[in-house]
Structure 1
Amino acid sequence: MKFQRCMTLFVAVIMALALGCASTSNSEGTGEYLDDTAITAKVQTAILQEASLTSAEINVETFKGVVQLSGFVGSRAEINTAVQVARKVEGVKSVRNDMHVKGQQ
């Protein structure tokens, strides 16, 4: 009887831990968070290495493989280039563009 209660408790704890690490539509699981962190770093690096992008005011955020670019750049061409660079990074599912040209709004 005691063994059965311990086993039931053990199974319940394991299930709670597994469900606690699962993702929902509004949150990420641990693995997804680590993947998104890596994607963000790769996109930031690719943008900094792109010679035609002179602005350091591009912010990168990633949620479930969807990259959001925000901030300010010097021209519409730089926006297009940043989006194209981000799309080429492995793991990126799509790119949201929230960048603006400096001086225009």
Structure 2
Amino acid sequence: MKYARAIAFAMLAGATIVSTGCSVARQQQSVGEYVDDAGITTAIKAKMAEDKNVAATSISVETLNGTVQLSGFAKSQAEKERAEAIARNTKHVRDVRNSVVVRP
């Protein structure tokens, strides 16, 4: 049973690496640009996780060429705006597109 979890995790990690490599080629980004975008995404998610006013698990963050796309659900307009502010105030972010939906 323990080995099944390890194998499943290894397969998931391998699939992630393969899909990551494909996305660099498909979107015509250099490896350096991709690494920068991944760093931006990671920094934003970390800041959201630290902020008690933002549910980081409910908001997705994707970055392409310095443009950040936020999507998912927020509990309030204030949470949506705070998520956008976090993204805008992160180093190397060029633009933020906020598609977060406020749930009633």
1:27 deviation in Å?
2.3
2: CA distance, partners of 1:64 / 1:77: 27
Deviations 1:41-78 (A, max 9, x none): 00100111112113521000000000000000101111
AA aligned opposite 1:93: R
Contact 1:55 1:72 survives alignment (8 Å):
no
2: CA distance, partners of 1:27 / 1:55: 29
The structure with the largest helix share of the pair is: 2
TM-score, length-normalised on structure 2?
Answer: 0.71
- Match of 2:91, SS state, is coil
1:95 deviation in Å?
0.5
TM-score, length-normalised on structure 1?
Answer: 0.70
AA aligned opposite 2:59: I
**Which protein is bigger by CA-based radius of gyration?**
1
2: CA distance, partners of 1:48 / 1:55: 5
Q: Give the structure 2 partner of residue 45 of structure 1.
A: 46
- Coordinate RMSD, CA, aligned: 1.8
2:65 matched to 1:64?
Answer: yes
2: CA distance, partners of 1:95 / 1:31: 21
**Number of aligned positions between the proteins:** 80
